[in-house]
Structure 1
Amino acid sequence: MRKSLAALSALLVFAACGDNTGGSSSESESEATPAATQEAAKLPAKFETGVKVALVRQLASGDFFQQWLLGAQEQAKALNVDLRISDARNNNDQQATDLQRAIDQKPDAIIVDHGLAATVSPLIDKAVEAGIPVVAFDVETENPEVISIQQSDEDAGKRIGEELVKGIGGSGDVGYVYVAGFAPLDRRNRGWDEVKQANAGVKQVAKFGKVSDSTANDTQEQANAVITANPDLKAVLAPYDEFAKGVVNALEQANKTDVKVYGADISTPDIGVMTKEGSPWVATIATDPANVGRVAVRAAALKVNGDAIDREVLIPPSIITQDFLKENSIKTLEDLRAKLPDLNTQDTATADWIPKS
């Protein structure tokens, strides 16, 4: 995350993060069609003839990752970029194989979307040594040549944690969904730790979670046990939308109506869950995942063209409450973008020659 923060989760996201579950890699190519607009005519010569970018993903399941990819593909099409996608399905060994394959194919640039530092950092360094521009989204890397994009996750963890503290009146038992090893979740965890240290009345009575190809279902199973074991639970912090949905499902199954859920990330399905009658999911902190995907592709394009770009690109998230969604009759991400312009990232990592998508 550079000092022009764009941006949390669990990965958010999730940001994303993960355990070494098995899974074969799937690959696809997006058809690159030159945009028939005046802006397309201004593309640098190398883009007019076509640019190849490898997108190496740790995980693609879940609303955040799907929306992120849609945004990346739209921006790639507008730039006449052939985006070659691999999905390791949360198998870290497979992601290493995918990244090595991308290096061997010598694309014009590589985007690494999430991944364990121990797995991908040595290969990121190898790509840089081979002269391939690299953009890393929610990946810990110290290589000064790599453009690092993140959602200001530590700040996100702190802010949604503070929202939780306010929502439970400053004290009470809370549960926490967290899996170590995923860069965005680790950073959000640091923010949450800061909140706990500043609020002695908040007692974290349980920590649980799993990142997988079915994160929401796996989290729900664990949440069932936590809810049963902690009858005085006031809230759960679940800083990744798949975590939050799993906890919501568990609470609804247990008919628990007095426990609040605080999450991270946003999508149209998430909005549906948050605005459902009686939903315990009362607030989330998020960026627009599709816009973040666009930023990653634009950053790669800038590197390919030799344009200046900050090493760290931070995308600041926004707090989105259930009340805000309901009061503004927001049902989709499109509705949310119209009502919350802070989610717009069109001016992040861009240039006059880059068409808007």
Structure 2
Amino acid sequence: MTFPMKRGLRLRKTVAAIAAGLALGTAALSSASAQEKTVSFPVDKKTIGYVDLIASGAMQRRFYSYFTAGTDALGWKVIFQDAQGDPTKANTEAINLINQGIDALVVSCADSAPMRPALKLAKSKGIPAVQAGCPMTDEKAWDASFPLDDAAVGHALGEYVGKQIGNNAQVGILGDTVILAGKIRTKAVKEGMAGAKAVIVGDQSVNLTDIVGNSRKIVSTYLTANPDLKAILAVYDFFAAPAGNTIKSAGRADKVSVYSFFADAVNVPYMKTEGSPLKAVADGPVEQVGLLAVDQLLGHFKAEKPFDSSAAQRLEVPVEIFTLENLPPAGEDFLTPYPVKKYIDQYKEKWAKEYGGN
């Protein structure tokens, strides 16, 4: 099922580990050495600091993989830092990177408020600060911000879930109040389910520093208090497996389904495990925002172009629903249903036209 909407690392974990509800580790995410550029025009060497709020999220890996596909093509070096779900740590890591003399700061999904000291320091040093991946409470705090369209994917999932669970079914939500994306997805999912008149029995925020344990605790509470519970909505991909495993442990996998976002390195293998409660995810080539960030930085450095945050709204991102019937193959190195080659080739062609004569 596809919803035609306009908007806008590899890892090695066994299916058994994912089925146990473990968040992906960050060993496969590391600082990237400067590569030999593959574009034909001259490009100055740059070092980009990249801070990820929560690199254990498989979707975050998709953002980073697209970003580094772009920086690799340009021969730029990337220094990667993982804040492990702690916004305060994200700010500290960003400040450390700025003091190391990076040429630009890119942050994925740490919101504006906790990042203000780092953003102020970057501005004082003339270092551009760009956000890629999530909506911000204060977009203007950044030189540019490129979020995916969480409302579009959320509404698409909500519509699908509403049709699957039927009218007046009980639904529990694993939400988030730290990242604005979680709030937007929750609201959009509820709107998408409005026609089914779903009964929301709980909408609790998961502690991002204890994803597995807290997700299990919340789902257990929902199951105990609601014997007729029909579904769990996990607003982030890394909530889905802990939710599903809790449902299986309670012996209710035949009655309670899990729905979430992104056919990624966590959800695809988990959906394929025997008796998995995870029934569907909404997805689209949303990681294009990572390449867009590189494109905007190149324009800034190469031609002194102003940053354009509205560029994310012009990305073509069709949203589709993945179920067990149409899941992509998930080999050992699987990351995304949308291989980066198509998109990096488009950008390299664009860059050659814009900068090939320079």
DSSP-derived class of the 1:267 partner? coil
- State whether residues 5 and 152 of structure 1, in contact with CA within 8 Å, keep that contact through their aligned partners in structure 2: yes
Partner of 2:351: 352
Partner of 1:14: none
Partner of 2:58: 63
- State whether residues 209 and 243 of structure 1, in contact with CA within 8 Å, keep that contact through their aligned partners in structure 2: no
Q: Deviations over 1:312-349 (max 9, x none)?
A: 314536223214425xx6335578337xx9x9644579
Partner of 2:36: 34
Distance 2:141 2:336 in 1: 38
Distance 2:198 2:218 in 1: 21
| Displacement after TM superposition at 1:301 (Å) | 2.7
- State whether residues 257 and 278 of structure 2, in contact with CA within 8 Å, keep that contact through their aligned partners in structure 1: yes
Partner of 1:150: 147
- Aligned AA for 1:78? A
Are 2:173 and 1:176 equivalent residues in the alignment? yes
Alignment counterpart, residue 212 of structure 1, candidates 208, 215, 235: 208
Distance 1:177 1:167 in 2: 19
Q: Which range moved further: 308-317 or 280-289?
A: 308-317
Q: Structure 1's 63 and 142: CA in aligned 2 closer, same or farther, altered over 3 A?
A: closer
Partner of 1:16: none
Q: Structure 1's 353 and 129: CA in aligned 2 closer, same or farther, altered over 3 A?
A: farther
Q: What RMSD in Å do the two structures reach over aligned CA positions?
A: 3.2
Q: Structure 1's 144 and 64: CA in aligned 2 closer, same or farther, altered over 3 A?
A: closer
Alignment counterpart, residue 201 of structure 1, candidates 188, 193, 197: 197
Query: For 1:307-322, what aligned pairs fall within 5 Å after superposition?
Result: 307=305, 310-312=308-310, 313-314=312-313, 316=317, 318-322=319-323
| Displacement after TM superposition at 1:300 (Å) | 2.7
Q: Deviations over 1:129-165 (max 9, x none)?
A: 5322221121513327622111101222222111111
DSSP-derived class of the 1:250 partner? helix
Alignment counterpart, residue 102 of structure 2, candidates 91, 104, 107: 107
Partner of 2:13: none
Partner of 1:262: 259
DSSP-derived class of the 1:31 partner? coil
Give me the identity figure in percent: 23
| Displacement after TM superposition at 1:126 (Å) | 4.4
- Aligned AA for 2:233? L
* Long gaps (5+) in structure 2: 9-28, 354-358
The TM-score normalised by the length of structure 2 is: 0.78
DSSP-derived class of the 1:351 partner? helix
Equivalent residue pairs, number: 320
- State whether residues 216 and 246 of structure 1, in contact with CA within 8 Å, keep that contact through their aligned partners in structure 2: yes
DSSP-derived class of the 1:84 partner? strand
| Displacement after TM superposition at 1:51 (Å) | 0.7
Distance 1:5 1:348 in 2: 17
Q: Deviations over 1:11-51 (max 9, x none)?
A: xxxxxxxxxxxxxxxx963211213x4xx33243x2xxx11
DSSP-derived class of the 2:178 partner? coil
Alignment counterpart, residue 274 of structure 1, candidates 262, 271, 274: 271
- Aligned AA for 1:336? P
Partner of 2:73: 78
- Aligned AA for 2:153? A
- State whether residues 171 and 203 of structure 1, in contact with CA within 8 Å, keep that contact through their aligned partners in structure 2: yes
| Displacement after TM superposition at 1:182 (Å) | 0.5
Distance 1:335 1:82 in 2: 23
Partner of 2:93: 98
* Long gaps (5+) in structure 1: 7-26
Q: Structure 1's 249 and 237: CA in aligned 2 closer, same or farther, altered over 3 A?
A: same
- Aligned AA for 1:221? K
Q: Deviations over 1:99-136 (max 9, x none)?
A: 22233334221101111331114532542353222211
Higher relative contact order (CA 8 A, sep 6+): 1
Partner of 1:302: 299
Partner of 1:117: 112
Distance 2:183 2:348 in 1: 25
